Structure 1
Amino acid sequence: MNTDVLVIGGGNAALCAALMAAEGGASVLLLEASPRAWRGGNSAHTRNLRCMHDAPQDVLVDAYPEEEFWQDLLKVTGGRTNEKLARLTIRSSSTCRDWMRSHGVHFQPPLSGALHVARTNAFFMGGGKALVNAYYRSAERLGVRVRYEAPVNRLEIDAQGRFAAAWVGSERITAKACVLAAGGFESNREWLREAWGVNERGEWPADNFLIRGTRFNQGVLLRHLLEDHGADRIGDPTQAHMVAIDARAPLYDGGICTRIDCVSLGVVVNREGRRFYDEGEDFWPKRYAIWGRLVAQQPGQIAWSVIDAKAIGRFMPPVFPGVVANSLPELAAKLGLDVNAFMGTLQDYNAACRPGSFDHTRLDDCRTEGVSPPKTHWARPIDTGPFYAYAVRPGVTFTYLGLHTDETAAVRFGNVPSDNLFVAGEMMAGNVLGQGYTAGVGMSIGTAFGRIAGTHAARAAQAAGNTQRKEHHAVA
């Protein structure tokens, strides 16, 4: 089978690439590893896209200029980001929504539980599943061929880094250009174990990780490119978009509804009944994704988010009910924690809370003094029953180890960009996200680089076609 552009993957980045390549006049074949019912990868679980805008725009209020977006990204990554590619992503986020609408994506104002991101994030009507379905419908109208249950296990790449063919089992598929958008390796338990290793307590932390998204992101092509073809790599294999999610969540595909969003309204304790990080460090959309990694570093990779009655109604309610008790000692006993250690932690925290004007919509002046770790904002004594606790474990969304690229989205070999092999989405997100996360930026990266990769793939296919025609005429 032959095509102009082969797209490997079936989520947002892959679909953006396929649509752009088709709009560029290329014939396109998209290979999705999953069955049709599970198509879309992690994109099906998304809700929104972080967008730069200099003035109010339909569903976005106020302004969110480039420099503020950049500073937010710089803060959460701790500087582990490629500024050129990050700013490319940011600028692209300001212009992509009209294109998205042209392919059937609809936006809506954020629901009441997410008003704090109404300025920075555009929400998809119907969520990520609706976005994915809209893109597939548009792709089919443009003539993109889609094959499901078609996992690619290896590629043919020549010594100059040029793509020649992909293999699905024993079937060889050739193309003039290829876009890789097959996700990270978060669903590959053995690779996660290899990356995280054994901790000082003799535990394998990765054994207790839950996977928020698709089970099909095994990292087969990523490992193949890095180890068999020597593609340039970017990122740390232990870094990921990792969230504290309900410990009762399913192993795969729990999605957004398994997130526990009350961390900043209370305290978080580990298996020893002790706090281990500032729960009020920053607004939740900027800092929620640090908590998965923090919990991964705790004994047994488990912790409990503890709140009292004052917090109820101030956060997105979780799917599963929490453990409820009329007193803190009763709560500790129900959680199986050492009551004395737990009560010592809560008493120290409550005594350290300083009066202030509580306001969960801003960085308020409710803080602690004389306790470690501090709670910088929204610190109120946990003293009003009933009391609630939610067990949390690390929930991996996607991994950051990936392929090094540039503003053309080309895969690089020995720092030389391929002229017909491109990458988008999770497979290259580590270029922008060295660590940390801020809400919606994964979709910003996937959309920006999916469109770039698709555009360049179509051009590469056209150039290859022109070369072939010239050679044919020369022989004739």
Structure 2
Amino acid sequence: MPHVVVIGGGNAGFSAAHAAAARGREVLLLERGRPDEAGGNSFYTAGAFRIAHHGLDDVAELLEPDPRNATAVLTPYPQDLFLKDMRELTGGRTDAGLAGVLAAESGPALRWLHGLGLRFRLMFERQSYPDDSGRHVFWGGLAVGSVDGGKGLVSQHTRAALAGGVEIRYGHRCGDLVVRNGRVCGVRWSAADGTTGVVEAESVVLAAGGFEADPRWRREHLGAGWERALVRGTPLNTGDMLRSALAVGAARGGDWSSCHSVAWDAGAATSGDRELTNRLTRQSYPLGIVVNSSGRRFVDEGADFRNYTYAKYGGEILRQPGGLAFQVFDSEIRPLLRTEEYDAPGASVIVASSLEELALSAGIDLPRFIGTVEDFNAGIDESVRFDAAVKDGRASRVDPPKSNWALPIRTPPFYAFPVTCGITFTFGGLAADEHGRVMDADGAVIPGLFVCGEMLGGLFSGNYPGGTGLTAGTVFGRRAGMLA
């Protein structure tokens, strides 16, 4: 009988498994997906980790060799700024205790992973812009990511777990938790070949993701229309273990009515693509304009760095007619877009030699679209210098305004990238303390039951600072594994 059972083989689950195994615990990790389906949502990420740091010298020891490292400019990102971002982006709804632990342990947690053999790099192509002197200026409090993105992250976690003595069983869908004398002491499972069984253990760590892949739960908790959202990541996060935990008395934690969702290629499949993974996002929207099929803008594309708006703008797109929008750029802006996303194989795009042709080809209301572009261009204060690496204040005074990075749409050819809402993960989960110990409705700890990753409620509400999910998974996965 193992000492610890971890349910879910993504970044959080592996972090819990590493920490428990390092204490001499016998650890069994049960992953619902087969080997070619495994990794949870972590597999589909770009691998970004938001950490508090004091600048480039503070993170240098984590980084793979790259000649560009010497040209990197990283503004220090202290813990108090991390906390400020958490409070402001969630409207003050983040749990102060959880957020404090997250900020304080973000850097140490990444160093811990690095010590286990996981590899990291600066995300030059995603998080920096070159300045006039050839330096790469990083922005938005985010710079470090795993080598080879989410695919590399899961592969490196797997190697580290096996080297640490963790047993991994794939294709095991877990269900009811086993409770004896008030303590959670195991879980029932079923395999793809029809076999079933029970694993008993001293502790169970839940790291099986949210309910984002269940359209019925999305509609019930997020609201009407959310059943139409495309799933960015794994189709296996259907809330099974949330249901099981609630059934044994676990309390809900966090905001069950909101989620992380992004601008996603409108031509993508209904669930994640394991080849393209994160390349189906369309995150250069701060450089252009976004219109709906009626030809109207509906968000401030330049309200803040992409890291601070992208996780809520998917929901804004879903609220548009048909749940559809178009990111519009001209030929002068087009070279600035993220190559890995906008030049991805099969990327949905409409190209036209005139704005009229673009609108007609895309099915956008022509008169309103032309008026929107003309008003936007006329409203730009072109005396302000454009600088993509800072909030440059180059605004267009229209309604809604574009507060930064306003570049005119006037040089053909023109580009329209159709986007819809891609849901990443749900913010609601289980109530737990700062060590991941699951609590009941009275605030008492349920013995033997721990939670981490997307299943931990209380960190996020309404919005999210980019790169925080993987960091939270590691911080609280490690904490759960240190006690389980």
SS of match in other structure, 1:85: helix
Higher mean alpha-carbon deviation, 53-62 vs 373-382, is at 53-62
Q: Distance in 2 between matches of 1:158 and 1:276?
A: 54
1:432: how far off? 0.9
- Select which of 359, 363, 367 maps to 2:395: 367
One-letter amino acid of the counterpart of residue 214, structure 1: T
Q: Distance in 1 between matches of 2:406 and 2:112?
A: 43
- Select which of 194, 205, 212 maps to 2:220: 194
Q: Distance in 1 between matches of 2:262 and 2:414?
A: 23
Q: Distance in 1 between matches of 2:282 and 2:272?
A: 16
Q: Distance in 1 between matches of 2:222 and 2:105?
A: 34
Unpaired runs of 5+ residues, structure 1, are 199-204, 458-476
TM-score of the aligned structures, taking structure 2 as reference length:
0.89
2:189 is matched with 168
1:52 is matched with 52
1:397: how far off? 0.8
1:245 is matched with 264
One-letter amino acid of the counterpart of residue 26, structure 1: R
The within-5 A match list for 1:282-361 is: 282-317=304-339, 318=342, 319=344, 320=347, 322-355=349-382, 356-361=384-389
Contact 1:50 1:441 in 2 (8 A): yes
Map Cα deviations across residues 247-268 of structure 1 (whole Å, 9 max, x no partner): 0122222331011122111111
- Select which of 209, 213, 230 maps to 2:233: 213
Contact 2:292 2:326 in 1 (8 A): yes
Change (3 A) 1:237 1:118: closer
The within-5 A match list for 1:3-14 is: 3-14=2-13
1:384: how far off? 1.2
One-letter amino acid of the counterpart of residue 189, structure 2: V
Q: Distance in 1 between matches of 2:410 and 2:140?
A: 32
1:123 is matched with 145
SS of match in other structure, 2:29: strand
Aligned length: 446
1:269 has 2:295 as partner: no
2:446 is matched with 418
1:297: how far off? 1.5
Contact 2:50 2:468 in 1 (8 A): yes
SS of match in other structure, 1:368: coil
Contact 1:234 1:404 in 2 (8 A): yes
SS of match in other structure, 1:392: strand
Q: Distance in 1 between matches of 2:407 and 2:465?
A: 25
Q: Distance in 2 between matches of 1:269 and 1:101?
A: 42
SS of match in other structure, 2:322: helix
Q: Distance in 2 between matches of 1:118 and 1:104?
A: 27
1:464 is matched with none
Contact 1:52 1:120 in 2 (8 A): no
One-letter amino acid of the counterpart of residue 70, structure 1: L
Q: Distance in 2 between matches of 1:219 and 1:212?
A: 16
Q: Distance in 2 between matches of 1:374 and 1:135?
A: 44
Change (3 A) 1:197 1:108: closer
Change (3 A) 1:431 1:236: closer
Structure ID, larger Rg: 1
Q: Distance in 2 between matches of 1:112 and 1:30?
A: 34
The within-5 A match list for 1:122-141 is: 122-141=144-163
Map Cα deviations across residues 4-46 of structure 1 (whole Å, 9 max, x no partner): 1011110011001011111111111110000012211111122
1:321: how far off? 5.1
Map Cα deviations across residues 74-99 of structure 1 (whole Å, 9 max, x no partner): 22212110121111011111112332
Percent of residue pairs bearing the same amino acid type:
38
Change (3 A) 1:321 1:209: closer
2:207 is matched with 181
Q: Distance in 1 between matches of 2:227 and 2:94?
A: 29
Change (3 A) 1:266 1:118: closer
One-letter amino acid of the counterpart of residue 239, structure 1: S
1:21 has 2:30 as partner: no
Q: Distance in 2 between matches of 1:315 and 1:183?
A: 31
One-letter amino acid of the counterpart of residue 92, structure 1: E
The within-5 A match list for 1:17-166 is: 17-46=16-45, 47-55=47-55, 56=57, 57-58=59-60, 59=63, 61-115=74-128, 116-117=138-139, 120-158=142-180, 160=182, 162-166=183-187
- Select which of 391, 400, 410 maps to 2:427: 400
TM-score of the aligned structures, taking structure 1 as reference length:
0.90
One-letter amino acid of the counterpart of residue 242, structure 2: L
SS of match in other structure, 1:431: coil
Q: Distance in 1 between matches of 2:147 and 2:417?
A: 29
Map Cα deviations across residues 91-144 of structure 1 (whole Å, 9 max, x no partner): 111112332122221112223342234963311112222221222122112221
Q: Distance in 1 between matches of 2:140 and 2:223?
A: 40
Q: Distance in 1 between matches of 2:322 and 2:181?
A: 46
Map Cα deviations across residues 426-474 of structure 1 (whole Å, 9 max, x no partner): 001x3111221122100110000000000110xxxxxxxxxxxxxxxxx
1:444 has 2:471 as partner: yes
One-letter amino acid of the counterpart of residue 72, structure 1: D
1:172: how far off? 1.4
One-letter amino acid of the counterpart of residue 179, structure 1: V
SS of match in other structure, 1:156: strand
1:193: how far off? 2.4
Map Cα deviations across residues 353-387 of structure 1 (whole Å, 9 max, x no partner): 22221111111131122x21111111122111111
One-letter amino acid of the counterpart of residue 205, structure 2: V
1:208: how far off? 2.5
Q: Distance in 1 between matches of 2:483 and 2:305?
A: 38
RMSD: 1.7
Contact 1:109 1:118 in 2 (8 A): no
Map Cα deviations across residues 138-167 of structure 1 (whole Å, 9 max, x no partner): 21122211110001011123574x202210
Contact 2:185 2:448 in 1 (8 A): no
Higher mean alpha-carbon deviation, 217-226 vs 444-453, is at 217-226
